Structure formats: C-alpha cells, structure tokens
C-alpha cells in the first residue's frame, strides 16, 4: 500500500499548512475566547479556493476531491477547530455537484 501523496496533494498540503500557520494560528485564541464568527478566515478560504476543493475542475473547482479537503481540514485544525469546521461544512453544499 502506498501512503505518499501525489505531487498535487503534497503541494496542497504545504500551501494550506503555510496559510494556516500565517493566518489561522494568530487568530485562533481570539476566535475561541470571543466566540465570534471569523469572517476574515471565511473570506480567505474562499479567495484561496479552499471551498472548491471537492468541486470538479469542469465546474471551476480544484478537483482535489475529498482527500484534498481532508488534508486541508487537518492542516487548519492544527491551529483552530472552528476554522477547520468551516472547511468541513463546505462539503455539504458542494456534495451534490
């Protein structure tokens, strides 16, 4: 069995890891303490295409599939479960596509 990510998934992991460290980590404590919805992170995830990971390329998504979404969720969850939940819940409306 092969457990290595292909080049595209490894690049996705590295990109989301960097984004999470730079943008999510500094806000994580504040998000937890205030309980306010992190609209800035929502907009960041949208602008970087993270909400389209499960959408096929022919519909202007990235086509990374559920594995790509899982990788992104895992990287974000290292710093904020709230932010990771935002990514997880993006699967609900994109599932039918």
Mean pLDDT of 83-87: 95
Q: Is residue 2 part of a domain?
A: no
The number of distinct structural domains making up the chain is 1
Q: Is residue 35 part of a domain?
A: yes
Q: Is residue 81 part of a domain?
A: yes
- pLDDT for 3 equals 81
Residue 95: pLDDT over 90: no
Q: Containing domain of residue 14, as a range?
A: 7-94
Nearest alpha carbon to residue 55 among 91, 19, 27, 88: 91
Q: What angle do CA 38, 87, 23 make, to 5 degrees?
A: 50
Each residue's pLDDT tens digit, 1-29: 778 899 999 999 999 999 999 999 999 99
Each residue's pLDDT tens digit, 37-66: 999 999 999 999 999 999 999 988 899 999
**CATH number of the domain that residue 35 is part of:** 1.10.540.10
């Amino acid at each position: 069995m092969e457990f290595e990510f292909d080049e595209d998934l490894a690049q996705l992991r590295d990109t989301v890891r960097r984004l999470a460290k730079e943008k999510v980590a500094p806000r994580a404590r504040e998000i937890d303490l205030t309980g306010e919805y992190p609209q800035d992170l929502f907009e960041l995830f949208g602008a970087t295409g993270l909400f389209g990971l499960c959408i096929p390329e022919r519909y202007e998504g990235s086509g990374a599939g559920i594995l790509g979404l899982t990788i992104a969720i895992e990287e974000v969850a290292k710093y904020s479960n709230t932010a990771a939940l935002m990514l997880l819940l993006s699967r609900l409306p994109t599932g039918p596509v």
